[in-house]
Chains A and B, each alone.
Chain A
C-alpha cells in the first residue's frame, strides 16, 4: 500500500492507516500527521488538532461500486479547518480552508 496516512505520537509510536481506525487514534498524542501518496508525502507538524477525511463515490445500492475519490489530511486553526487534498485518480494536490466560525 503506497497511499496512507501516518501519525507519530508523543511517545514515538507510529500508527499507519490500516493498523487502526482514525477514530481510535489518540488525537491529543499526535505530534505529526503525514499523508503518503505514491512516493510523495506531506507532513503536518506542531498543530493543535488534526483530522483525516475522505471523498468517495458509489452507484446507488451497489457496494462494489465504492470508489475512493480523494484523500485529505488537515489541521485546525481555531474554527478553520485547513485541508490538504490529494485526488485519488489524478494525484493532484489542492488546499482548502473551511471556515466553521459561523453556524
Chain B
C-alpha cells in the first residue's frame, strides 16, 4: 500500500529524435549487462547513486541517479536513460537506452542493460568504478560487456554496401528501437509463425508474439513454464511463474515473468512474447513457436535492387509491421513504424542490391522531461477572455507497485472562479491526452499542442481525447480516462491542460485542484 508517486512536466515543444546510429543504420550496438541479481526492487541512496560510464571509448562521466527505496526497476531504467541523454552530447549518449529486460546471455535473469546510442564497431558501454557507486545496487558489480559489430544482426555480412536515411519526426513518448530487415516474409509475418500450445498447458490468457526474427536458419522455439513459485505475474520476485526457452541452436536460463503485458525476449534472434494477466501452470512444452529466416528479398530472389526489394520492421516496444512487407522505392522514403518516421535505402551504385536478412536499426529517443517531482502547475497571469499557456504533465509510480491501471483525471475544485459552467461568459478547464496507452493514429506524443487543440470535445488526429471544459467531479468514474503503459515504468500517458478565463472573472491567485485516480497492485 506504500506506493510512492511523482509528477513530471514536459515542455510542450519537447520532441523525440530518431537516428541511424551514426553508421547508416548498419551494425549493432555495444552494451553492458549488470549480471548480478539486483532483485526486483532497487534502493538507491546518497552513497549509491552514481554510475560511472564510458560510451564508445570516450571519456567517462558520472550520472547521478534518482534516490529512493524499493524503486521499480523499470522506473530506474528510464531514469538512467534520461540521465544519459542529459550527460553526453554525442549520439552514443543522446540515443543510449537502459532497459530492464530478461537477458539472453549466459546466466539469464531480469537485469539492467545499458546500450550505446551508436551502431557499429566503435559502439561500446563500459561501466566503471567510482565514488558513491551504484554498481552493486544495480547488479553491475559483475558485468558482461560486448562491443558493437559492423556486421548485421542475424547474418555474417551485409549484401548491401549502402546505408539508410531517416526522415520525419518521432512522435513516440518513450524510447524505442526499430529493427528493419530485408525480406518478403515468404513463410510468416516478420518471420514468426503461429504459436502452438502444449497439451498440458492450461493458461487461458493470450500469448502475443512480437519482434522480428532474423537468422541464417529456421528455428522452432520451445517455451517451458514452471509455476512452482507462483502461478500469476505481478506477484513479486520469488512468487511469479518462470519461463525458459530453447531451440536447436540456442537456449536460455529460467527467468521470472514479473509483469503482465511486458515484452520478454525468446532466443537471440528477435522473437519476443508477452502475456495477459492469467493463471499459468507448469508445462513443457507450454508453447512452441516456429520462426523462419528471411529467404528472399523479393519474389524468389535472395537479393534485389532498391525499388524492388522488400522489408519489414518491428520495434522494441511492439510497434510492429502487421500489414505485410513494404516495397522499397528508389530515391524515396517509405514507411517505418506508425510514429511518424520514414526510411530510405541508399545504394552505392546501381548494382548495389539489398540482400535477404540485411538488418538495420533506427534508434529513437523520447521527449525529455523538463521538471521532475513538480508540486504545482502555475498558469501564470491570465487575462480574462484569453487562454492560458498549455501545461503538459505525466504521472508515475516509482515504488510500491508492480502494475498501474485505470488511470483517471478530473477537476476536483475550480477554486475561486465563479463562472465555471455558469452559462455566463464561462471559464473553461481544458484537457487532452494521448500516449503509449492510448495511441491515436500512431501518435504517442505531439509537440507544441496549443489551446486550440484542446478547446473542443473532438480531438485532433494527434490526440486521443480532449475535453473543452472539465466539470468538477468527485469520483474516478466521473473523471477522464488516461492511458498508461508498463514498458518503461509505471507511467501514465501525458496530459495537456490549460484554462480559459471567462470575461466576467475577477480576483487573482485562484487555486484549482485536479485529482488523478489510479488502480495499482
- A contact set with B: CB distance below 8 Å: 17, 21-28, 48-49, 51-63, 65-66, 68-69, 76-79, 81, 100-103
Contact = CB atoms under 8 A, between A and B. Distances in A.
B204 A60 contact: no
Nearest to A56: B518
Given A22-B236, A60-B7, A63-B5, 5 more contacts: A27-B235, A57-B476, A65-B515, A69-B517, A79-B206
Contact of B206 (A24, A53, A61, A103): A103
Contacts of B376: 60-62
B142 interface: no
* 5 smallest beta-carbon distances between A and B, as pairs: A23-B236, A78-B204, A79-B278, A79-B204, A61-B375
B521 interface: yes
19 contacts: A24-B238, A26-B238, A28-B229, A28-B230, A28-B231, A51-B235, A54-B1, A54-B3, A56-B517, A57-B515, A59-B412, A59-B515, A61-B373, A66-B3, A68-B1, A69-B476, A76-B279, A78-B202, A100-B278
Contacts of B4: 63
Q: Give the contact-size bracket for chain B.
A: 35 or more
Q: Is the interface of B mostly helix, strand, loop or mixed?
A: loop
Contacts of B110: none
Interface of B: 1-7, 202-206, 208, 228-232, 234-236, 238-239, 260-261, 276-279, 373-377, 393, 395, 400, 402, 406, 412, 476, 513-521
A103 B239 contact: no
A52 B5 contact: no
Contacts of B228: 28
Nearest to A17: B1
Nearest to B41: A23
Q: Give the interface centre of A51, A61, A63 by most chain B CB atoms within 10 Å.
A: A61
A71 to B, nearest CB: 9
Contact of A53 (B260, B276, B278, B519): B519
B206 A51 contact: no
Nearest to A78: B204
B7 A101 contact: no
B513 A23 contact: no
A60 B208 contact: no
Contacts of B6: 61
A52 B279 contact: no
Contacts of B235: 23, 27, 51
Given A27-B239, A54-B1, A101 B518 contact: no
A28 B232 contact: no
A60 to B, nearest CB: 5
Contacts of B412: 59
A100 B402 contact: no
Contacts of A24: 236, 238-239
A49 B520 contact: no
A61 B7 contact: yes
A56 B3 contact: yes
Contacts of B377: 60-61
A48 B513 contact: no
A101 B205 contact: yes
A11 to B, nearest CB: 16
Nearest to A5: B1
Nearest to A98: B277
Nearest to A63: B5
A62 B239 contact: no
B239 A60 contact: no
B406 A55 contact: yes
